[in-house]
Amino acid sequence: MTRITAALAWLALCGLGSAACQARPPRTPSSLLLVTIDTLRADRVGAYGSTAGLTPALDQLAASGWVFERAVSAVPLTLPSHATILSGLDPLHHGVRNNGTFVFPETRETLATRLKASGYATGAFVAAVVLDRRYGLARGFDVYDDTIARASEGRSELESERPCGAVVERARAWIKSQAGPFFAWVHLYEPHAPYAPPPDLAAAHPGRPYDAEVAAADRCVGELVAAARTARPDRLVTAVTSDHGEGLGDHGESTHGLFVYQSTLDVPMVISGAGVPSGRRTRDLARGADLAPTLLATLGAPALTGIDGRDLTPGGGAGESYAETDYPAGFGWARLRSWRLGDLKFIEAPQAELYDLALDPKEERNLAGDRSSDVERLRGVLRAALKSEVRPGERRVSGETEERLRSLGYVAGGAMVGPGPNALDPKSALPLFRDFERAMEREASGDLKASSVILTSLVARDPANLTFRRSLASVLRRSSRAPEAVSVLREAEKLAPEDPAVLHDLALALAGQGHLVQAIEFEDRAIALDPAFVDALNHLATLHALRGDLVK
């Protein structure tokens, strides 16, 4: 019997005049508000040393609660990191390795499924298509509000995020309607790029759009916490964290996803409210996977089992952490894996890296060449951990989803086959990546001509890169330059003759030239390789209809 069910039973007995009324009823469980602020670096938060005054609401929560001074993400990508936060599992074990092409497994429990089973009302309110319900995180929520309206103009044909004010409005209304204990997860997309802060905050932080968006997110946090406290003044636990940070030029990375340096792994983590010691700060390593078990323990709810995370309420963190990024693999570059033991951090890459974070927190001095014994020791620990990883099959995204992710700066396309043993180190690929980001910015703003110029240069510099070729072909096709798109994709077909996405792209470009028979041939080949390729199936049906073919 859950505590909520027990409380209802007590009320029923009271109504019958039972002697049980003389005893104190079971205590009503605390409600839980979990706020995840996408892309928030810890060093922009006052409670973590910032003097910029960007986060008064979060700082107030920190002052009255528990601050984890060394909180870290397992992956600098939105969907995999949120899967870890909600499940207590590292990406190694929940299998969600990138945005857009993985689904959280139905067999794994989460904070939502556990609290739902304990009698809580559960609601989620997300701000970006990256966390759409199709990716598996909606299970366990009574309400999963991922409504993101279409836009007829702007940086993308489809709006891919919604401002935090809109998210908070929906969450606040739901919280207000709850009669009993609730779990509300609210995801705010500020300060994720592209940065477009509210005018007043842009004016208050001129030339610092990222900081202005941090301030915007914090303002929304203040409004949300006030509403939740009004609904549950005495029985509320609030937790605020981030899925990952932002490069902002550190190591040459302007955004996130390419590397696993601390600029994109260090995050804030604060818990405040009923049952949480006020003014507590800890320097123990706190991982994203530790948050769910710690919150369940704080609420007195049943624990998740078989997870990587641990309950931090007794004190003492794991002392070590795993981190990864598969994002470079979308370009055919090497994946990165990392193991941190205390302040010593190893990054497995074609050019291995080792850092002493106590002496070198910005990871500017690679010690791998001087401390080979530490490299081999941590490499051994990492490789032992990798033996337990699960790799569920990726799924192909639709063209619409691919466009929406691209408008957020993410690549979901490219070959579904991983990079080879001689894949380029992302550090060496950084100049290419910077130019690709510039091309995506131009495309998202509607300047297809400028985007095509940059992408043409990228294809010349890295001819085997399918992502560069497919992106260039997409821009050319949308610029009414179908013959050029076909030429680019013909070369891609030579590189990857069995990649259904390349064959589908060719079919689209050929159809744009009016070559319907050839387009049908390529869609037939794509579907033979991937019978569940929805975009190819839909386009094939359209092509047959255009030719007047009868459905058999």
The ranges of the chain with pLDDT < 50 are 1-25, 151-159, 413-417, 552
pLDDT for the residue 13: 39
For 440-460, the DSSP string reads HHHHHTT-HHHHHHHHHHHHH
Counting runs of H as helices and runs of E as strands, what totals does the chain give? 19, 13
pLDDT in tens, 305-322: 999 999 999 887 789 999
pLDDT for the residue 23: 44
Q: Helices 466-478 & 430-444, crossing angle to 10 degrees?
A: 20
pLDDT for the residue 150: 52
For 114-161, the DSSP string reads HHHHTT-EEEEE--BGGG-GGGSTTTT-SEEE------SSSSSSS--B
Q: Output the six-digit token pair for 394.
A: 């990726």
pLDDT for the residue 403: 65
The CA-based angle 475-247-281, given to 5 degrees, is 145
Shortest CA distance to 360 belongs to which of 371, 351, 348, 349? 371
pLDDT for the residue 131: 95
d(CA 520, CA 265): 46
Q: Helices 534-546 & 500-512, crossing angle to 10 degrees?
A: 30
pLDDT for the residue 100: 82
pLDDT for the residue 161: 83
pLDDT for the residue 155: 43
pLDDT for the residue 549: 81
pLDDT in tens, 223-256: 999 999 999 888 999 999 999 999 999 999 999 9
pLDDT for the residue 158: 41
pLDDT in tens, 188-221: 999 999 899 999 999 999 999 999 999 999 999 9
pLDDT for the residue 34: 98
The CA-based angle 347-353-355, given to 5 degrees, is 95
Secondary structure of 262-307 as H, E, C letters: HHHHEECEEEEECCCCCCEEEEEEEEHHHHHHHHHHHHCCCCCCCC
Shortest CA distance to 344 belongs to which of 370, 367, 325? 367
